Amino acid sequence: MLHIPILVENADLIVVNKPVGVAMHDAVDDTGVKKDPTKGIKAGRVDGIVTVLKKQLAVKELHLCHRLDTGTSGCLCLAKNATVAAEIGELFSSRRVSKYYLALSSNKPKKKQGMIIGDMKNRRGGQRILLKTQESPAITQFFSSAARSGTRGFVVKPHSGKTHQIRVALKSVGAPILGDTLYGGAASDRLYLHAWHLRLPLSKGELSVTAPFDAGEVISQEDVHTWVEALNAPDTYPWPSIPARFLT
């Protein structure tokens, strides 16, 4: 049975290092038969992260507090009761949670660092696109540096929680994420997007968690691993202020 690494656990919540390929919810097709969504064929029951963790921890109640794409690894928070889930949900909706991601690309971006702001729109085939309008925009900041020859590393701070936000943002600067073939990224063994650090200002005290980025053929290469290990703490980067009109 799949084992999910636990980063933090207390009476109220757990934070796990979600593996690549694990979905948020159990997969069910229109016939009611659970299937493997990566193969598109009936393959019996495919448990999502909540079901896996309930079995692993032998608990009956867990609540997802936010979401990660199936291909994304890293920090994922689940509450052990509805009250804590509501508190954390409010922190996310009011943008008081600090989230930082790591990503790799085989392309050099148009600019080494910056802020990407724009509304997002759904397209066919599960894609999203970034628009020039800014009515309810996705806001994404990033710093980049060479992880090795031919591979660019990114530290990313999303200020909103739009679906595929980081994936679309990096594509918009000419550096789609390695393994993200949906958005033009080079084929690889995984989607190289990782929820690296999570900070929650909870009523019982601030919780700060970092998930190791250590799964995948590329990240296991010595020079890329060295790049990750040499990164500064995410809150020490000179993140620019968000324009006031986007904070209301």
Same structural domain, 132 and 63: no
Determine which one of 47, 69, 180, 235 is catalytic. 69
Same structural domain, 136 and 193: yes
CB 166 within 8 A of CB 157: no
Same structural domain, 138 and 229: yes
240, pLDDT greater than 90: no
Task: Tell me the residue range of the domain where 242 lies.
Answer: 98-248
Q: What is the spatial distance between Cα 29 and Cα 22, in angstroms, rounded to a whole number?
A: 17
The radius of gyration of the chain's CA atoms, rounded to the nearest angstrom, is: 18
Same structural domain, 124 and 90: no
Q: The CATH number of the domain where 221 resides is what?
A: 3.30.2350.10
pLDDT score of 245: 83
CB 248 within 8 A of CB 224: no
Residue at a domain's end among 41, 59, 94:
94
Same structural domain, 116 and 155: yes
Virtual torsion, Cα 72, 15, 144, 239, nearest 10 deg: 130
pLDDT score of 248: 63
Domain count, the chain: 2
The letter for the amino acid at 12 is: D
Same structural domain, 6 and 103: no
Arithmetic mean of pLDDT over the chain: 92
Beta partners for residue 74, in sequence order: 18, 195
- pLDDT tens sequence across 178-218: 999 999 999 999 999 999 999 999 999 999 999 999 999 99
pLDDT score of 200: 97
Core vs surface per residue 185-215: b (16+ CB within 10 A) or e: bbebebbbbbbbbbbbeeeeeebebbbebeb
Q: What is the spatial distance between Cα 133 and Cα 19, in angstroms, rounded to a whole number?
A: 35
pLDDT score of 38: 47
Instruction: Specify the pTM.
Output: 0.91
Please return the burial class of 104, using the count of CB atoms within 10 Å of its CB with bins 0-12, 13-18 and 19+. Answer: buried
Same structural domain, 180 and 233: yes
Higher pLDDT, 40 or 173: 173
Average pLDDT over residues 156-185: 96
Q: What is the spatial distance between Cα 81 and Cα 86, in angstroms, rounded to a whole number?
A: 9
- pLDDT tens sequence across 31-57: 455 554 444 445 567 899 999 999 999
Same structural domain, 89 and 202: no
Q: What is the spatial distance between Cα 145 and Cα 138, in angstroms, rounded to a whole number?
A: 23
Average pLDDT over residues 146-150: 96
Same structural domain, 90 and 106: no
Same structural domain, 115 and 217: yes
Please state the three-class secondary structure of 56-88 as a single string: HHCCCCCEECCCCCCCCEEEEEEECCHHHHHHH
Alpha helices in the chain (DSSP H): 49-57, 82-93, 165-172, 222-229
Short-list 191, 206, 203, CA closest to 101: 191
What is the sign of the dihedral through the CA atoms of 195, 233, 116 and 102? negative
Residue at a domain's end among 75, 94, 113:
94
Same structural domain, 115 and 208: yes
- pLDDT tens sequence across 72-129: 999 999 999 999 999 999 999 998 999 999 999 999 999 999 999 999 999 888 899 9
Residue at a domain's end among 60, 94, 128:
94
- Take residue 72 and report the two structure tokens written for it: 């994304």
Task: Tell me if residue 12 is catalytic.
Answer: no
- pLDDT tens sequence across 63-72: 999 999 999 9
The letter for the amino acid at 206 is: E
Same structural domain, 8 and 125: no
